[in-house]
Chains A and B, each alone.
Chain A
Amino acid sequence: MTTAIDEDRLTETFAALANSTRRAILARLAEGGATVNELAEPFTLTLPAISKHIKVLERAGLVVRGQRAQYRPCVLDATPLEAVSTWADRYRPVWEARFDRMDDYLRQLRRQEGASEADD
């Protein structure tokens, strides 16, 4: 069972990923760290616009910024992505157990039906 905090965290991750520019930034960072200027290069967006996207990624914990001088290179942190990829993994056993119980309940109903038919 996931907690509300996990859910909030996932929501933030999903929100950060629900934007093509931010996904492109992450894909670029997957190849290695980069400065904001380098990240802005392939886009027609202004530097402040790119910075805004990076801030969203930072809040979601997907990007970590270095402390080095004014360059402050961005580095990818894939940890929240691992949480995303395990969301379904965590829910699958919950559903499997539910359907096992549904199966049991159906068997119980059949037995009851059989018993009442025998009574008739």
Chain B
Amino acid sequence: MTDTQNSRDAVVIERTFDAPVVLIWRMWTEPEFLKEWYGPDGASIPIANMDVRVGGIRRVCMEMPSPNGPMQMWFTGEYREVVEHQRLVYTESVSAESGPVLSPTSPGTAGGHPMMTEVRVELEAVGNRTKMVMTHAGVPSDSPGAAGWAMALDKLAANIATNRGR
């Protein structure tokens, strides 16, 4: 957690919701709840298939109005960790309607090489409220052992900044 906190390739958001942990868990895992908050205003979520168990597939379709008719975005991935009311980890790849739709068994390897990301949700009950830490990190699709990658990139970027400043 701490090593991704400030790295450039992850979004880390900590929030406390005025709701019990059971309800926040449902927000993430049940389609009728997810549909209420996942898409921006004006968007709808016509499809949200969430097989919430390790190895289960998550497939969410978001539909947005556009001048050329409705535009679809597909979020496809696989659940990596499922600890009820505590921790949810899944991978995610985004594709446009006309873009490559991933084969669920091989995330990140279908035509067009969409980038894979990982979403990690950690929940903690604080009285009747819920503290949530959400981490959304980029995962290089062709390198399973990406450890140290973010650090290397940070170092490289710092190096470049230093050299530009000369």
CB proximity of B62 to chain A, nearest CB, Å: 9
Tell me if A95 and B136 are in contact (CB < 8 A).
Answer: yes
Q: How far is the CA of A95 from the CA of B136 in the complex (A)?
A: 9
Tell me if B96 and A84 are in contact (CB < 8 A).
Answer: no
A59 in the interface, Cβ–Cβ < 8 Å?
Answer: no
Q: Main SS of the interface on chain A?
A: helix
Among B7-15, B47-55, B79-87, the stretch that binds chain A is B7-15
Tell me if B115 and A14 are in contact (CB < 8 A).
Answer: yes
A7 in the interface, Cβ–Cβ < 8 Å?
Answer: yes
> Which A residue sits closest to B113, measured CB to CB?
A11
Tell me if A87 and B141 are in contact (CB < 8 A).
Answer: no
CB proximity of A66 to chain B, nearest CB, Å: 18
Q: Given A7-B94, A10-B115, are A18 and B163 neighbors across the interface (CB < 8 Å)?
A: no
Tell me if A18 and B143 are in contact (CB < 8 A).
Answer: yes
B65 in the interface, Cβ–Cβ < 8 Å?
Answer: no
Q: Name the A residues within 8 Å of B100 (CB-CB).
A: 4
Number of residues of chain B lying within 8 A (CB) of chain A: 43
Tell me if B146 and A18 are in contact (CB < 8 A).
Answer: yes
Q: Main SS of the interface on chain B?
A: mixed
A49 in the interface, Cβ–Cβ < 8 Å?
Answer: no
CB proximity of B42 to chain A, nearest CB, Å: 12
In-complex Cβ contact of A30 among B136, B149, B163 (8 A): B163
Tell me if B27 and A102 are in contact (CB < 8 A).
Answer: yes
B103 in the interface, Cβ–Cβ < 8 Å?
Answer: no
B46 in the interface, Cβ–Cβ < 8 Å?
Answer: no
Q: Name the B residues within 8 Å of A12 (CB-CB).
A: 113
Tell me if A84 and B8 are in contact (CB < 8 A).
Answer: yes
Number of residues of chain A lying within 8 A (CB) of chain B: 44
B22 in the interface, Cβ–Cβ < 8 Å?
Answer: no
> Which A residue sits closest to B145, measured CB to CB?
A18
A115 in the interface, Cβ–Cβ < 8 Å?
Answer: no
A47 in the interface, Cβ–Cβ < 8 Å?
Answer: no
B152 in the interface, Cβ–Cβ < 8 Å?
Answer: yes
> Which A residue sits closest to B149, measured CB to CB?
A18
Q: Name the B residues within 8 Å of A101 (CB-CB).
A: 36-37
Which residues of B are in contact with A by a Cβ distance under 8 Å? 8-11, 13, 15, 17-19, 23, 27, 33, 36-38, 40, 73, 94-96, 99-100, 112-115, 134, 136, 138, 140-143, 146, 149, 152-153, 155-157, 159-160, 163
Please name 11 pairs of A and B residues whose Cβ atoms are closer than 8 Å in the assembled complex, sorted by A. Answer: A3-B96, A12-B113, A15-B143, A17-B149, A23-B156, A30-B156, A84-B8, A95-B134, A95-B136, A99-B13, A110-B19
Which residues of A are in contact with B by a Cβ distance under 8 Å? 1-4, 7-8, 10-12, 14-15, 17-18, 20, 23, 26-27, 30-32, 76, 78, 81, 84-85, 87-88, 91-92, 94-99, 101-107, 109-110
